[in-house]
Chain A
Amino acid sequence: MSEMQKIVILPYRKVLQIAFQGLRIRLVKTFLVTACIALALAFMTYILCSNGMLAGIAERASDALQQRLAREGLLEQMLSTEQRSQTAWMLGIAMMISFAGIVNAMLISVTERFREIGTMKCLGGLDSFIVKLYLVESLFQGIVGTVLGIIIGVALAYAEGIGRFGTEALRLLPMNDLLKALFICFWAGVGLTVVGALYPAWRAAKMEPIQAMRSEV
């Protein structure tokens, strides 16, 4: 390993360590942010999966099921454009609320730690270190929240599908499409969190080190 690689890798381990300890000590806040992401992502995953199942009915469902659904008029209702645009709106709102929650929680965490950040800058910490610290924190919360959300969302979608269509529900969404949906959800969740942390991280990095110097500030 070259000198340069060592220099780059070691601080990253330390950044991870400090970020993780920061999350642990602010456990309640960490939990809230993670739960916020998990909820939004559970909703998104649920909608993508159940929409996928509905779309698969025409192609994959047995004749018996198709006849039953046609008789009950359920399928038409579920596939109506009105219903779909409504869920799209709800999904958008859920994502926005989750985004606002993340930005807010990260901003609070910046104000709470202004002295800590200022101290690090006084000791020679560069802006990039502070940004890394916040991004690593948000990345961790984003991954945990997203994975939790995806698990909940998939479980809900399949539970509902089995309730409606019986065990046939398991066949309606091909594995490929399911994985594609989960992939989209994962990156949406992680992306949402990291983008939400960008502004707070920038605010933290731009903080004047003088603020740590005086107790009365």
Chain B
Amino acid sequence: MIQTLPLAKTNFQNLILGLLGATLLFLAVYSVTVGAFAVSLPNTISILVSQLGLKVGVHTNQEANVLLFIRLPRILLAMLVGGGLGVAGAALQGLFRNPLVEPGLIGVSSGSALFAVIFIVFGSYFSWATQFFGGFGLPIFAFVGGLINVSLVYNMANSGGKTDISLLILAGVALTALSGALIGLAIFYADDAALRNFTFWSLGDVGGASWDKVSIAFFLILGPSFLLVLQFRNLNALAMGENEAFHMGVNVQQVKYTVLLISALVVGVGVSMTGTIGFVGLIVPHLIRLKFGADHRLVLPGSFLLGATLLTGADLLARTIVMPAELPIGIITAIIGSPFFIWLIINVKKIRS
């Protein structure tokens, strides 16, 4: 019995991950069928299977077009961005050794948004970037902005291996305010065409999804998220403290740079595609830890799956509550997230001990 204890734990973790994955899959399939233009489940399956060259059941061309070119990329984008926010939130919380850290709160999202806006508004100056990176230009710009902010925040709040949470949040507030002001300034100088682009982007949420965006997100969110998940041992060691992690053989500096870089990439790419979506990176890792413990082997991939589920669900609500109109998805996550954050602040003493 004793011999199998860790093995039982691993099996338990795999079971949880399997359940989370299955929930995500069911929600995604359900979500595909629901909307202003409903497609029945048999027809949905028929459309999906016909993509593999098999003829099962019947469906109309209109149904196929709605499903394949509007709804499916949209849901995949929601899954990728939500998963990315979840796993980046979990990894940043692990790195900062603090459960209150969230990409939106510490200024990563606002930095990405600023750089995304600069790219959109002053796009004509960055034609070289568009030529060189193609569709990757905007996400890469957003990533650089997020990276600048997260590095600044980290250096401001960190001294001697300890992160002061009040400094961290304040630094995040300061940088978010500055980014917001600079976004306003950039819009002030924008011409009509750029302004229209910006409006589309800022209202874009996952409604603006296309297969191009999904394929970029696939490379720049799913791949890096997987690299973050591989950091689970190092983040477990870091939970003991930076010195302790070093004593146990972790190259702390390298882990820090890796996690900051990849988190900024994952969040920045998400922001560049859907605008800033708050609270996913805060709620999701917390729920996983609360229910299943703090081992990052489960927390990191679990946060990806649950983040993907949460954003898919939020998107489902956003486009069904006021059908046939749509709410911005950020409103839904904020309505769920803010009370959760308040609950967290009230309970933070209990959580810390």
Question: Do A and B bind?
Answer: no
